[in-house]
Amino acid sequence: MSSPRVERHDLLVELGTEELPPKALSAMSTAFAEGLRNGLTGAGISIGAVEAFATPRRLAVLVRRVAARQPEQRVRRRGPPVSVAFDAQGAPTRAATAFAASCAMELSSLGRERDARGTEYLAYEGTRSGQTTAELLPALVRSALDALPIPKRMHWGALTELFVRPVHWLVLLFGRQVVPATMLGVTSGAMTRGHRFMAPKALRLTSPGSYAQTLLTRGKVVARFETRRDEIHAQITSLAQKLGGRAIVDPALLDEVTALVEWPVALAGRFEERFLALPREVLLSTLQAHQRYFALVDAQGRLLPQFITIANIASPQPELVRAGNERVVRPRLADAAFFWEQDRRTPLAARRAGLDAVSFQAQLGSLGARTTRIAALARTIAAHIGADAAHTARAAELAKCDLLSAMVGEFPELQGTMGRYYALADGEPAEVAEAIAEHYRPRGAGDALPASRVGDAVALADKIDLLAGIFAIGQRPSGTRDPFALRRAAIGVLRILLEHRLELDLPMLLRQAFNAQPLQGLQARSETLTQELQSYILERLRAQYLERSADSGISTEMIDAVLASRPRSVLDIDARLRALVSFLGRAESASLIAANKRTANILRKSGVSEAAAPIDVALLREPAERALAEAMQGLRGDVLSATERRDYAAALDRLASLRPAVDAFFDQVLVNDADPALRANRLALLGELRTLFVGIADLSCLPG
């Protein structure tokens, strides 16, 4: 028999708002679509394709072929224990009759079931008709909206509900039917709105599937974010070619501009050629970050005195829009030119004293004090990584000086970059100038690292001092709250150490950083804080390894095994993990992991630490224990030598040869012998075995 035909309709949900925050729009749109998809499927409602729409004034989701109701629901309920449901004479109690009534069943029709402990209960099993999709939709939409990644929520008027922006209309259309609902101060309907200026009248939607086309043709709105972004990119590329140049299209800027317009129109503008004398980064920051324009370059990559802006309207007088944009950018560039001239009149080094008057953090002193700490730590790092000591010290002293310049005051994103320009203008060595710019790197995921050893030293010192200072005052990150960007600083430290292969004693650097912080009684807590901060940094390292575990083969248990051996450098951790991956591919690994687990358990229960006592050869009575002792003695030197030079693969290769002797020992030797002397000697033998392995990684942490 064929199953009954399921009624299906398309579903449209649109929320019309005041202008939404552009940098959050794409993420909110994706989350809204996913939230609605998950809500529908979680309720057992089958659906087809899901499409998201987002403009500055709306978030919308179109879901194809949505079932009109849930399928029948299978219901299982457990009632009171039988001992409670019936009295001593077998008559039903109030608990039994109430349960039967709640199930709409006769008591005699209820079943029984037992739990894991054998207790018998009354039980009900049956079916329940599913709810209609229209009944469920308001709550599902509300739930999806509540879960949006909104930067900051607000309320407006007398409304107590919170949302990212005031809401003006709500479309909730299931097929041709409006689903009644009220949320965020508005009632659902079938009326949407087009472009604020080009099509201000309300538009009636006849069906969900007509949504995008109705907005495009009658509303002058390109509703789909990706379509609008592609259109903007195509317009920019075409216009740039007509102007004889090439546009610099930064993906983040393209996304932001896409989130600002509903009907994109590319227009070209110009600025005075004299502004091309400004540093390239100043021009780009003015055009891109402040004005959201797209800069143009010639075939050689040199900036042109032109830009492309994206208007949110097809104006009958585009020349007025162009003139308005040119008029806005001119004073910004003029200010930048003035700052450029004024700042260079004061040498960068002359600003160093002024840092003492600028507070970094109330408990951690001034920027000047922080600069002194960074310089001391940078000198320590430089001595270990081969960086020029004099250049490192000079770069660290000047690294924060451009924060007092007028240019950085106006363009904070240029800190470090302007320091480089001003240092070069002052005649500072190129290595010093480059390190000043590089010490903020990496600024985020995927950003470039410092390109010099001097830059590495100052960048590491800057980040480690920040981490130590904020940990020392108890302001470490919690949940999603990370106001000092400590996660980014920790990841930056790890990337520099790993990608540039820098051999540094991390606990030693952290301890130095803590001891330099200007806090009373800190030295008494220095060791505890060092361990806490090291753990925090290594948790970031764990996350990085696990993100690419599919390619690297590294698991969280392997990381635990390596960290248990307490390596002092990040490079050492990496080397041990790589060797462990190779070792676990060997046939001997499973047996040796099991032996390490057994050894660890025996030693823990006996209260004996690894290598707590020397092995007395005279007390080795059994052939299997003599064989194990001789095997370990034969390879101890090779293992320790390989471990010392960090050839962990070779060390594990030698240790793998112990498998037959280890297996025989556990098969043939009773460790907990009645003779105390024999027992202690055998525990010492196992302690020595464990010490050899733990010098590389604690295999007892591994599954197996």
User: What integer is the mean pLDDT of 195-212?
Assistant: 95
pLDDT at 592 over 50: yes
> DSSP character for 289?
I
User: What integer is the mean pLDDT of 449-473?
Assistant: 97
Query: 361-547 domain in CATH 1.10.3210?
Result: yes
**pLDDT in the model for residue 596:** 86
By the 8 A CB rule, do 59 and 32 touch? Answer: yes
**pLDDT in the model for residue 385:** 97
287 or 620, greater pLDDT = 287
Segment 368-410, tens digit of pLDDT: 999 999 999 999 999 999 999 999 999 999 999 999 999 999 9
**pLDDT in the model for residue 2:** 44
**pLDDT in the model for residue 612:** 60
**pLDDT in the model for residue 158:** 85
Q: Which residues, 6 or more positions from 503, have their beta carbon under 8 angstroms from its beta carbon? A: 384, 385, 569, 571
Percent with pLDDT over 90 in the chain: 75
Residue 240 to residue 265: CA distance in whole angstroms: 13
Confidence of residue 610 (pLDDT cuts 50, 70, 90): low
Q: Would you call 670 helix, strand, or coil by DSSP?
A: coil
**pLDDT in the model for residue 95:** 92
User: What integer is the mean pLDDT of 469-474?
Assistant: 94
Least confident range of 175-184, 416-425, 520-529:
520-529
Confidence of residue 499 (pLDDT cuts 50, 70, 90): very high
The residues spanned by each domain of the chain are 8-70+133-217, 73-128, 225-343, 361-547, 570-701
Q: What are phi and psi of 120, to 5 degrees?
A: -95, 135
User: What integer is the mean pLDDT of 341-355?
Assistant: 96
Percent with pLDDT over 70 in the chain: 99
Could you count the other beta carbons within 10 Å of the beta carbon of residue 250? 15
Q: Which two tokens stand for residue 475?
A: 């302001």
pLDDT at 4 over 80: no
Q: How far is CA 26 from CA 234, 256, 480, 700, in A?
A: 20, 9, 20, 46
Confidence of residue 1 (pLDDT cuts 50, 70, 90): very low
Query: 570-701 domain in CATH 1.10.730.10?
Result: yes
Confidence of residue 108 (pLDDT cuts 50, 70, 90): confident
User: What integer is the mean pLDDT of 578-593?
Assistant: 88
How much is the mean pLDDT over the chain?
92
Nearest to 628 by CA among 649, 653, 659, 602: 659
**pLDDT in the model for residue 520:** 87
| H or E element in which residue 60 lies | strand 58-67
By the 8 A CB rule, do 307 and 295 touch? Answer: yes
User: What integer is the mean pLDDT of 518-526?
Assistant: 88
Least confident range of 22-31, 303-312, 462-471, 673-682:
673-682
292 or 520, greater pLDDT = 292
- List 223's β-bridge partners, or say none: none
pLDDT at 609 over 70: no
pLDDT at 253 over 50: yes
User: What integer is the mean pLDDT of 554-581?
Assistant: 92
Nearest to 57 by CA among 163, 156, 169, 152: 169
User: What integer is the mean pLDDT of 167-191?
Assistant: 95
Segment 269-314, tens digit of pLDDT: 999 999 999 999 999 999 999 999 999 999 999 999 999 999 999 9
Radius of gyration in angstroms for the set of CA atoms belonging to the chain, rounded to a whole number: 35
**pLDDT in the model for residue 178:** 96
Q: Which two tokens stand for residue 261?
A: 């317009």
User: What integer is the mean pLDDT of 564-577?
Assistant: 93
Segment 408-435, tens digit of pLDDT: 999 999 999 999 999 999 999 999 999 9
By the 8 A CB rule, do 534 and 517 touch? Answer: no
pLDDT at 199 over 60: yes
Query: What's the half-sphere exposure (Cβ side, CA atoms, 13 Å) at 564?
Result: 18
> Got the DSSP string for 602-633?
HHHHHTPPTT-S---GGG--SHHHHHHHHHHH
**pLDDT in the model for residue 606:** 81
**pLDDT in the model for residue 125:** 87
pTM across the whole model: 0.81
Q: Which residues, 6 or more positions from 362, have their beta carbon under 8 angstroms from its beta carbon? A: none
